Structures are given as structure tokens and as C-alpha cells.
Chain A
């Protein structure tokens, strides 16, 4: 070892320590703060004080008045958080997959144009996208008016379609109605993450050699069978990975839920915001909800990882 390498090593070590410290400060410390605050005590009519009580978690899982009565309100919010995020993530990946597959079969130039388009679309914020969909779904100027003006509403009335849509919560006795509804919520969430799904799936799918697909065809597999038996198994890990990533991303969606979801079907992200910034100003309870949401996301990621390990471990 030369003398000149010693200062270099100490500089590198210093940079490493700074790096670890930065990660701790930026990622771990906020989480630890939230975790600590979740055990704090809310002073009625005032702010909160540090402490260690499980009141907030009890309120989340069984309600404030337990054991006199049980309230599952926040578990319901959690359920809707998971439901919306999971369905939208699966829908986005399921619909992006065939698109990306066809896209990668196209010319290089066409692929580049599509990728640039999707990268550009990522610059739109959630607020901007939701505003567009809000107009599209609006009862007075959006799709419901198109249905009415084109006579589609009358046709649905005559054929019993409107009654069916009413059962699904997508119509009034007079016309179709998309707001508020789970349909509009999930549709918008799906749209929100669709470009991400495309960009996540593009690298692994584009790497599949043309010859692998052709080999399957020469062995009697139709194009659909090739996708089912060769392409999808080859990209199983990226597919599940994309669903998990988008799921976690969507767990925190706020604007879409606030605009399109029925208040009785709101999610924890709305509830957390109301607790922390809303009229109640109950940071300990908001933190407890955030911790539960985080642990739920972690649990889903662990389940997904186990699923992949089980599938890829075999032949």
C-alpha cells in the first residue's frame, strides 16, 4: 500500500459515511418520527404530546368506544386503499402487456415514438390528469351528455341496460352517471399509472429474442399460445414486479380518490390527510394510519416476492 492511497481511502470512507447519514436522515428518520408520533397523545382542543399509548391503533382497528362498540371504519378505508390500488395496478399491467408486446414487434422508429410519447405523458401531474377525467366523467358536460345526446341513453332504457347500470351504481333513473363511482375511480387510477406500466414492461419484453417466438411457432404454437406459454412465463417476474410497484404507488393516491370515490368508499390516504391537516389536527392518529398503510404495503410486497420465488424456483 502506498502512502498516497491512504488519504484516498479515508476520503472514500468519509463519502460513504455521509451517504449512509443522508439515507438515514432522508428516509429512515421521517419514518421513525411518524412511527413515534403514532404512539403520542392527542390533547383535545390542542395539539398533541409525546407519549406511549396504543389508543390510536385501537381506534384504527376496533374504534374509540371499544369494548362498548366496535367500529371498522378505518379498516374499511384500508380495504378500499388496497382494493383500488390492487385492481388498478393489475388492470394497468394487464392492458399494458399486450400493447407493449405489439409495440416491440413494430419497427424501431415506431417504438421510439411511442416511448417518447409515454415519457412525455409522465410530466402530467395527478391533478392535471384527474381534472381531464373529471370533465370527461362530469354529468353535465362529459360522457353522460354524450350518451344522452346520441340517443344511447334511450336505447339503454329500452333494452334494460340502464337498470343494470343502476345496479352497478353507474346510472340514475334518467341517465348514466360515472361520478362518484368505483368504476371512475379505478379507471382513472389505471390511466394514471398506465404509462409507468408500459415503461416498466418495455425493457424485459423488448429483450425477448424473435427467434424464441419463432421457435415456438415452428413447434405448432399459435401466436396466442406463444404469448401464453413462452412470453408471459419469460417475463413473469417483471409483470409481478410492475404490479407491486404500481400498487404501492397507488396506495397513496389522493386527488383521484377525493374527486371520484364516494365518501363512504374513501381510502386511508384521504383519512390520513384529514387527520394531519384537516379540522381534527390529530397527528398521532394520522401517523398510526400511515404506519398501518406502510405495513400493509410491506406485507403485500413480501407476499409478492414469495409468490415469485415459488414460481421461479421450479422448472
Chain B
């Protein structure tokens, strides 16, 4: 594998893709750090796969540049870029056995048969399928097929390793295992990797950085922790995990929700009197029988989802619907209809642009 020190960052400059009148990707400016794993995360139709396909050379950008090692590779077809790619369906060749699938790129490159065999074996050992070389693709399980697809994509020692929804065809248990395996493999090889996924848990598990996309736009770029704890807007906040998003007006030191003023740790630079969204994660919300000193609202429990390790409590408050996540203690019970006090600790609150103003 080419080490990270040999490869520069992959840079996208104002990359745009149109299909007729439909804009799939709007002016994406991104830097994919060499040797790091970046996840393109977003709902279906947000443009993440189109962006990946443009990087692979399977789609040409309508506008913009894709720079690698200082060279614009946007005009190069996929066969000239030779970025290893794992597809959603794995796209293994059914007419070739496992070893020949893995060594296909070497055959195309004119590498001699003995070297091809040795390299295929090396890669199959890497993905723990060393004894499956002579098997037919149809004889493999879903997880094994995925490993073969990974080994095949790595055979040509690609500068960039691309994966398009690689876990979507796997069951939940296998998906968890493969997420960890893939992350460990990527770290061992130090190869620049871009993964497309709509699963935020998958992105959080594997990625050094996450690019959150929506409607062809890049909404936020950051580490998993930044994305989770400091979302840039209401879309990111709600797409990554659960979020309480309450509409209010900003004040000098916080936000006013109805008649109550809340102090917030991250004011976000909003001037007083502006419509804003108050963001708070459910696990930060506290419930108590007594009135809190500050940042409190009365609430009525409308639903309780017991998840064993925790309970998700849904409440109606004067500021709107609130979700709280409390430890799943066996002795403490919260019932539908209970009247409680809801506290939003100031250090967990952030102000985001109002949803209405963003849509406009």
C-alpha cells in the first residue's frame, strides 16, 4: 500500500453536478485528508453517492475541480484514476473465482500470473479469507463477499479507497463487526478512504471526519464529536442522533422560550431578538420532582420507551415537545401522565439558526 506520506490530500473545489434541471451536488468545497477515513453522511438523494462517483470518475462534474497531487483529475475517466471502489452490491464478477476477482486489476495491468496469484493470496490473507481463493463467488456469505470486494479494490494499491454504502447489504450484527474490521484495516494501511453511508452510527464508528450532506449541499464537516455536540444547524442536529429543537427568540445572554428565559453556553453570536432554534441532546435533559434553579419548564409525560439501559421519555412542555433520556434504573419509574420539571443545563445548550429562516 502507498503510505499516507506519499499521497496528498484530495481537494474538491466548487464541484457541482447537474442532471438536466436537477442539481445533485451544489458547489462542494471539501478536503479529504491523506490517510484519514472520511464519511459522506446524509439521507437518500442528498448527493453523497454522486459526489463519490465524481471522485471515482464514474460521473463527470458539471463544474469545479478535483485535485490530487496538485493535478486536476476531473477530466480523467475511472480507468485512468484507478481508485479502488467497493460498491453497494459488491459487484463481484460471477464468472471468476475469488482469487481471480481479487487479481482482476493486476491482470488488466498486465502483471504476470505468478505475481497475481501471490498478491491475491496476500490480500485474501489480509481480509481473513486465505483459504477461499478457489471458491466461487456464489459460495460466499454476505460478509465474505464484502471482504473479497475490499481485497479486490485494494489489489491495485489505490491512492484513494472509496466505499459506497458498503454495509447496507449486511445484517445488523455483521454490520457492526465489519465496521470495526474495516476501520482497523484502514488504520493499518493508512490509505485515504471515503465511505458513503446514510447510517450515522456507521459514520461515527468508522470516520475521522464526517461530511454531512442534504439536498446536494454540504451542511457541516467535522469530527464525529464536533458533529454530534456542535451541529451547525437543525438538520445536522436532527440527522445525527436525537435532538430537542425548540423555537425561540435570542436574548442578550440566552434564549426566550415563551415566558421563560434560558441561559445558554454557546450563544452562537446571534443578536438579541432574532428567531433561533435551541438545541439540546435528550441525554442532557434532566427530570426532577422539584423546581430547578434555572432553565426549567414544567412538563407532562406523554410516552416512555424503555430500552433497558436507558429510558426515552417524551414530554409536553409550554415550549413544545421535549425528549429526555434517563438511566434505565429498575426502581425508578416514570409513567405516562406524570407531571415533572424539565431542566436544560446551560452548558449543554446551543443556539442554531431558526429552521424557518434556513428554509427561506
Contacts and interface: CB of A to CB of B under 8 A. Distances in A.
Tell whether A and B belong to one assembly: yes
Interface of A: 209, 211-212, 214-222, 225, 229-230, 233-234, 236, 315
Interface stretch (B86-94, B189-197, B218-226, B284-292): B86-94
B351 interface: no
A315 B136 contact: yes
A268 to B, nearest CB: 37
Interface string B121-142: 0000000000000101000000
25 contacts: A211-B87, A211-B91, A212-B93, A214-B85, A214-B87, A215-B152, A217-B79, A218-B56, A218-B57, A218-B81, A218-B82, A218-B153, A219-B104, A219-B108, A219-B155, A219-B156, A220-B79, A220-B82, A220-B105, A220-B109, A221-B108, A233-B95, A234-B94, A236-B95, A315-B96
Q: Quick one: which of A212, A216, A219, A230 has the most chain B CB within 10 A?
A: A219
Among all A-B residue pairs, the 10 with the closest Cβ atoms: A219-B105, A315-B97, A211-B91, A215-B91, A217-B78, A211-B87, A218-B85, A233-B95, A220-B108, A212-B91
Contacts of A214: 56, 58, 78, 85, 87, 91
A77 to B, nearest CB: 40
A230 B57 CA distance: 19
Nearest to B162: A218
Interface in B29-53: none
Nearest to B97: A315
B85 A215 contact: yes
Interface of B: 56-58, 77-79, 81-85, 87-89, 91-97, 100, 104-105, 107-109, 134, 136, 152-153, 155-156, 162
Contact of A219 (B82, B97, B100): B82
Nearest to B86: A215
Contacts, number: 78
A209 B97 contact: no
Contacts of A211: 87-89, 91
A218 B56 CA distance: 7
Nearest to A230: B93
Give the secondary structure class of A's interface: helix
Contacts of A236: 95
A218 B105 CA distance: 9
Contacts of B92: 212, 215
B268 to A, nearest CB: 42
A225 B105 CA distance: 11
B246 to A, nearest CB: 44
A215 B153 CA distance: 9
Nearest to A217: B78
A6 to B, nearest CB: 43
B165 to A, nearest CB: 11
- Residue of B89, B91, B97 with most partner-chain A CB within 10 A: B91
B108 A229 contact: yes
A218 B104 contact: no
A221 B79 contact: yes
Contacts of A219: 79, 82, 84, 104-105, 108, 152-153, 155-156
Contacts of B97: 315
Nearest to B93: A230
B83 A218 contact: yes
Nearest to A236: B95
A159 to B, nearest CB: 40
Contacts of B57: 217-218
Contacts of A234: 93-95
A212 B90 CA distance: 8
Nearest to B80: A220
B129 to A, nearest CB: 16
A122 to B, nearest CB: 31
A168 to B, nearest CB: 39
Tell which of A209, A220, A229, A230 has the most Cβ of chain B within 10 Å.
A220
Contact of A216 (B84, B88, B94, B104): B104
Contact of B58 (A218, A222, A230, A315): A218
A234 B94 CA distance: 7
Contacts of A221: 79, 104, 108
B89 A209 contact: yes
Nearest to B135: A315
A225 B136 CA distance: 22
A67 B127 CA distance: 73
Which of B93, B95, B155 gathers the greatest number of chain A CB atoms within 10 Å? B95
A216 B156 CA distance: 12
A222 B91 contact: no
Contact of B156 (A212, A217, A220, A315): A220
A77 B207 CA distance: 72
A315 to B, nearest CB: 4
Contact of B100 (A215, A218, A225, A315): A315
A215 B137 CA distance: 15
Nearest to A315: B97
Nearest to B56: A218
Most chain B CB within a 10 A radius of its CB, from A217, A229, A234, A236: A217
A211 B78 CA distance: 13
Given A219-B152, A220-B79, 5 more contacts: A211-B88, A218-B57, A218-B79, A218-B82, A219-B108
